[in-house]
Amino acid sequence: MLTLPPLSNQHINTLYVKHKLFDDEQITNILKDTKIELWRNAEAVDPNTGQSIKSKDRVCQGQAVSNNFPLNNLLHVITQMNSQYWRFNINHVDLVRDYPSVYKYGVDGHFDWHVDMSTAISTRKLGFTIQLSNPEDYEGGDLQFFDGSKTRKEPELKEKGTLIVFPSFVWHRVLPITKGTRYAIVGWIHGNHFK
């Protein structure tokens, strides 16, 4: 009998990785590129059909990032993170159907527990969030990850300019905003279906 040696990846269970990506000037430029008339109520995705649906589980507004968004810099950093941690087979950002977007969470804005991958969008390998607001500008709105037994507040995930990257099958949520407004960019990196 011929057996295959196990291929080890000691970081596969890493829930998320963070990296300071943008400075204040870059964030100001990103937010200046948003247009009042383009804000739309965000919808959730039906996990079976992949269709957008209205849901009380997700309350926020969004719009696609502008053409000026420094996507190449972002992809370079995410590729390095993936190589160090998950080693997923990633190969593109879907700029037609699954484009990165800026999201605005006002008071009561939130996104309940969810994963970013489903049978309808099974090529999402990594999700990412970039914090655009100062933590002092809002209350609540914590991004939390579920590790199977507990959740905890991670103050460093609220640092302005921080990129947070995570496998798209990890459960996460954004707690309700109780004061102020939170801005963040959200997007996904795609690859071949998991197998």
Domain boundaries, the chain: 17-177+186-191
Is the pLDDT confidence value at 94 over 80? yes
Residue 190: pLDDT band with limits 50, 70, 90? very high
The domain made up of 17-177+186-191 has a fold known as: Jelly Rolls (2.60.120)
* pLDDT per residue as tens digits for the range 102-114: 999 999 999 999 9
- Predicted confidence at residue 47, as pLDDT, reads 67
DSSP per residue, the chain: ---PPP---TTTT---EEEE---HHHHHHHHHT--GGG-EE--EE-TTT--EE--TTEE-EEEEPPTTS-HHHHHHHHHHHHHHTT---EEE--TTTS--EEEEE-TT-EEEEE-S--STTTTEEEEEEEE-S-GGGEEE--EEE--SS-----GGGGSTTEEEEEETTS-EEEPPEEEE-EEEEEEEEEESPP-
CB atoms within 10 A of CB 76: 10
Q: Determine the average pLDDT of the residues in 123-143.
A: 96
d(CA 168, CA 145): 11
19-39, pLDDT tens digit by residue? 999 999 999 999 999 999 999
Q: What pLDDT sits at residue 122?
A: 87
pLDDT at 7 over 70: no
pLDDT of residue 192 exceeding 80: yes
Q: Is pLDDT at 92 greater than 80 in this prediction?
A: yes
Does residue 97 or residue 31 have the better pLDDT? 31
Q: Taking 70 as the threshold, does the pLDDT of residue 5 lie above it? A: no
Interatomic CA distance for residues 193 and 169, integer angstroms: 12
Residue whose C-alpha is closest to residue 164's, from 16, 12, 15: 16
Tokens 């484009």, located at residue:
99
Reply yes or no on whether the pLDDT at 62 is more than 80.
yes
Q: What pTM value is reported for the model?
A: 0.91
Mean pLDDT of 35-57: 84
